[in-house]
Amino acid sequence: MKTHTAAQTMVMLAIIVVLGACATDPAGGGSSTNISGGGSTGCQPQCAGKECGADGCGAVCGICPSAAPVCGPDATCKANCEPQCSGKECGPDGCGAVCGTCPSAAPVCGVNGTCKADCQPQCAGKECGPDGCGSVCGQCPSVAPLCTAGGSCEADCQPQCVGKFCGSNGCGGYCGNCAGNQQCESGACVQKPPTCGPSCSADSCEEGLYVQCKKDGSGCWTPSTAVPCPSGQVCSPFDTKCAPCDYNFECANNQVCQVGSCENASGLTYRFTFLSAKVPEKDADGYSWDGLGGLPDVQACLYLNCGSDGCGAAALVGCTSPAQDTTTPTWNEYVDIKVFASDVVAVLLYDVDLTSDDYMAGVEYGNSVGLLHSGGGSGAMPDPAFELNFLVEPK
């Protein structure tokens, strides 16, 4: 079958119209069509709602003006359309066409005009929120209308601030703020603790001085200035307060504790109590102390200010009774004497025999005040083979 172009069709229609006009010309002598009585049997143009385009009868519904010369598919006049396809692979071009079609490997045209593979919604563990494919994973019910960032539905949060003036409200906010000199504790604003300097928890003694621990006006416990104790009292680390003394070491080095009071050591009367000693079985030459081979009869004697010729009778203060036949004598015997700082105290050990006493060992204290303050002697003598233990106490 032979087809005609639109232009050919228009020409043929025009010829038909002309021929039809000739056939109705009375002067032409041809037959005529009766136009009286019934309606016309010609074509009715279809132009309702149209500005341009074919009218269905071989003509047009109108000519578009120069300002909008393009007759669109909807038969309305439009300005020249520029397709908007920059950066787009697919989707509408804005002029009634598309920017392209997507391949089978990425058949989905996204809202941004790019071709994508089939989208798989990401809704695992989610009740609501975006599914990653332009839709949502679900709608939250009215009882829990809030969709969290994690995709779960929660009820509207009600701040919990009844009886609270500060702190968290349970909904990510606060019930109030405290002033700069306050802090929040259990929902209430309380005064911040003071910034304290040197602190203490109790009274103390520092080098024999009394330091009182006091609470100042800001609430800080601070040590006071160290002060001496009242006369006759001492500040002992055992008592951490000023009190009567119990021991010599609580007093100054030149003092002794006498009836609860620290007194100058020089010039007081002291009781020297000899407790025990330890001596070797033989003398330095390897001989027995006793002429018959027996053990020694040990005696301790106290001397004061021995002369250059030794400790004679003039310097003797007193002796213990001999402890018979022993190398570990014990006595628990005493002698009383007044001692001054300038005195030199000596203690000598003897083996008492029938005819004459043998000197065994001795110890001399040039610093008598040191001896008096220490309260006696204990342990090895200058000759380490001998030991001596005695007490010195003020009366």
**Is 62 contained in some domain?**
no
Number of domains, the chain: 2
Higher pLDDT, 310 or 270: 270
Residue of 197, 388, 176 lying closest to 299 (CA atoms): 388
Q: Give the range with max mean pLDDT: 75-79, 109-113, 248-252, 328-332.
A: 328-332
Higher pLDDT, 49 or 24: 49
Number of helical (H) and strand (E) elements in the chain, helices listed first: 2, 24
**Is 340 contained in some domain?**
yes
* Res 248 pLDDT > 70: yes
Higher pLDDT, 146 or 386: 386
> What does the pLDDT average to over 170-190?
86
Domain identity same for 227 and 339: no
* Res 35 pLDDT > 50: no
pLDDT 10s digits, 38-88: 444 578 898 998 989 888 898 889 988 877 888 877 888 887 777 889 988
Tell me the residue range of the domain where 225 lies. 204-243
Domain identity same for 349 and 273: yes
pLDDT at 230: 86
255-258 and 358-365 strand pairing: unpaired
pLDDT at 250: 85
In angstroms, how far is the first alpha carbon of the chain from the final one? 157
Indicate the SS3 state at residue 23: helix
pLDDT at 28: 40
Tally the C-alpha atoms within 13 A of residue 170's C-alpha that lie toward its C-beta: 9
* Res 7 pLDDT > 70: no
> What does the pLDDT average to over 301-314?
87
**Is 350 contained in some domain?**
yes
pTM over 0.85: no
Domain identity same for 271 and 312: yes
Domain identity same for 232 and 286: no
Domain identity same for 314 and 376: yes
pLDDT 10s digits, 335-366: 999 999 999 999 999 999 888 889 999 999 98
pLDDT at 2: 44
* Res 225 pLDDT > 60: yes
**Is 172 contained in some domain?**
no
What tokens appear for 293 in the block? Answer: 């081979």
* Res 332 pLDDT > 80: yes
In sign, the C-alpha dihedral spanning 89, 93, 98, 99 is: negative
Average pLDDT of the residues of the chain: 82
Domain identity same for 269 and 388: yes
**Is 358 contained in some domain?**
yes
pLDDT at 370: 92
Distances (CA, A) of 321 to 119, 318, 395: 117, 10, 22
Instruction: Please tell me the distance from the alpha carbon of residue 177 to that of residue 344, in angstroms, as a whole number.
Output: 79
In sign, the C-alpha dihedral spanning 202, 203, 205, 206 is: positive
Q: Give the range with max mean pLDDT: 127-131, 198-202, 225-229, 301-305.
A: 301-305
> What does the pLDDT average to over 254-260?
91
Q: Count other C-beta atoms under 10 Å from residue 340's C-beta.
A: 14
* Res 3 pLDDT > 60: no
pLDDT at 94: 74
Higher pLDDT, 124 or 66: 124
- Residue whose structure tokens are 């919604």: 121
Determine what percent of the chain is predicted with pLDDT higher than 90. Answer: 31
330-339 and 268-278 strand pairing: antiparallel
Domain identity same for 209 and 289: no
* Res 14 pLDDT > 60: no
pLDDT at 192: 81
- Residue whose structure tokens are 């022993």: 326
Indicate the SS3 state at residue 250: helix
Domain identity same for 237 and 349: no
Higher pLDDT, 91 or 258: 258
Say if residues 304 and 345 touch (Cβ distance below 8 Å). Answer: yes
Residue 234's H or E segment, with its range, is strand 234-236
Residues 57-84: b if buried by 16+ CB within 10 A, e if exposed = ebebbeebeeeeeebbeebbbbeeeeee
**Is 8 contained in some domain?**
no
Indicate the pLDDT class of residue 333, thresholds 50, 70 and 90: very high
Say if residues 33 and 41 touch (Cβ distance below 8 Å). Answer: no
**Is 348 contained in some domain?**
yes
pLDDT at 135: 78
Say if residues 366 and 355 touch (Cβ distance below 8 Å). Answer: no
Instruction: Please tell me the distance from the alpha carbon of residue 374 to that of residue 222, in angstroms, as a whole number.
Output: 35
- Point out the domain boundary residue: 243, 273, 301: 243
Indicate the pLDDT class of residue 22, thresholds 50, 70 and 90: very low
Domain identity same for 213 and 291: no
* Res 6 pLDDT > 50: no
CATH number at residue 331: 2.60.40.150
Indicate the pLDDT class of residue 234, thresholds 50, 70 and 90: confident
Domain identity same for 286 and 383: yes
